[in-house]
Amino acid sequence: MKFGNNVLIFKAISAEASDAVHNSKDPYQEVLENLNLNVRLVSVLDFKFTNLDTLRRKLESPEDYSALVFGSPRCVYACTKAVEKLDSKWKNRPIFAVGETTGQILSDRFGVTAEGTSSGYGAALAPIILQHNLQRPVLIPCGNLNRDVISTILKDNGVSSDNVQVYETIPHPDLESNLKKVTEDFSFSVIIYFSPSGMNATIPLLKKFSIPLEEIKIVSIGPTTEKALEDLGFKVSATAAKPTPESLASAVASILT
C-alpha cells in the first residue's frame, strides 16, 4: 500500500461529547485536516461512571489528603457528577493534572488552576507532585485500566495514595459495524492509536476485515501505547511526545516528509 493522505484515528469518544456539551469537531482530527490530510475518526471506547458516592465523600474531606491528582479529563467529569463544586479547603492543597486539556477542564468546571499540566504523562507528573510536602495520602480518581504509574512512583518515595476508580472503560457498542463501514470505503494508509485498550479493541477487527496492517504506518500517542504496539510486533512509525493535537500533528508531519 502506497503511503497517502488518508488517516484513520482510533480514539475514545471525548469526555466533552459524552457530557453533551461538546459539539465542535475533534481537535485531533481538525489539526490533521489542517495538514491537508483526509481523516476519519472511529470511536473505539466508551465509558461509564462508577463509585460516585465514594468519590463525593472523599472530595468532601480534603483534610484527609495532602493533594488531589487528575489523570485525565474523564476523572474531572466524574468529579463534576459527584459534587457541584470542590470544597474550599482544596484551595489550600496542591491540585495536579496530567495534560493541558485536563487542566483546562478543571479550570472551566471548578475554577481550579492545576499544577503540572505541561507534563503530559503520569511518569512525568509524579516528580512534580513529590516536590511538595505530602504528609497525608494523595487522592487520585482513576479509571479501571489505570496503570498506577503515579501511585507507584509516589509509594517508592514514601508517599501513600488513595486511588478511587470512578469510571470503567468498555468497547464502543457500535465499534465493529462502524469500523466495517470505514474499511469498505476508505483506503487509509496511516492509523493513529491513543491507548493500548483502543489497540486491543481494533486490531482483531482489522485482521478480520483483511486489512494489511504490515503495510500501514502506525502513529502512537505516548510511550505506553508505543510499547504496547511494539510488544505485539508492530513497527511504530512515529510517537507523539504529548497527548495534544499539536504534538500529534508534529509526529504525523514527520512521516509525511
- CATH 3.40.50.10090 intervals, the chain: 6-44+173-254, 49-169
What local confidence, expressed as pLDDT, does residue 252 receive?
96
What is the per-residue pLDDT across 191-215, written as a single tens digit (0 to 9) for each?
999 989 899 999 999 999 999 999 9
Task: Answer whether 169's CB lies under 8 Å from 145's CB.
Answer: yes
- Listing from the earlier edge strand, what are the strands of the sheet with 161-171? 45-49, 161-171, 138-143, 67-70, 95-97
Strand partners, 8: 40, 191
What is the per-residue pLDDT across 26-82, written as a single tens digit (0 to 9) for each?
889 999 999 999 999 999 988 899 999 999 999 999 999 999 999 999 999 999 999
Q: How much is the mean pLDDT over the chain?
A: 91
* Domain 6-44+173-254 fold: Rossmann fold (3.40.50)
Cell matching residue 35: 495538514
What is the per-residue pLDDT across 201-257, written as a single tens digit (0 to 9) for each?
999 999 999 999 999 999 999 888 999 999 999 999 999 988 889 999 999 999 986
Task: Show the 3-state SS of the chain.
Answer: CCCCCEEEEEECCCHHHHCCCCCCCCHHHHHHHCCCCEEEEEECEEEEECCHHHHHHHHCCHHHCCEEEECCHHHHHHHHHHCCCCCHHHHHCCEEECCHHHHHHHHHHHCCCCECHHHCCHHHHHHHHCCCCCCCCEEEEEECCCCCHHHHHHHHCCCCEEEEEEEEEEECCCHHHHHHHHHHHCCCCEEEECCHHHHHHHHHHHHHCCCCHHHCEEEEECHHHHHHHHHCCCCCCEEECCCCHHHHHHHHHHCCC
Spatial distance between the Cα atoms of 131 and 125, rounded to a whole number of angstroms: 10
What phi and psi values does residue 88 have, to the nearest 5 degrees? Answer: -60, -25
* Domain 49-169 fold: Rossmann fold (3.40.50)
Read off the pTM.
0.74
Spatial distance between the Cα atoms of 73 and 81, rounded to a whole number of angstroms: 13
Task: Answer whether 139's CB lies under 8 Å from 58's CB.
Answer: yes
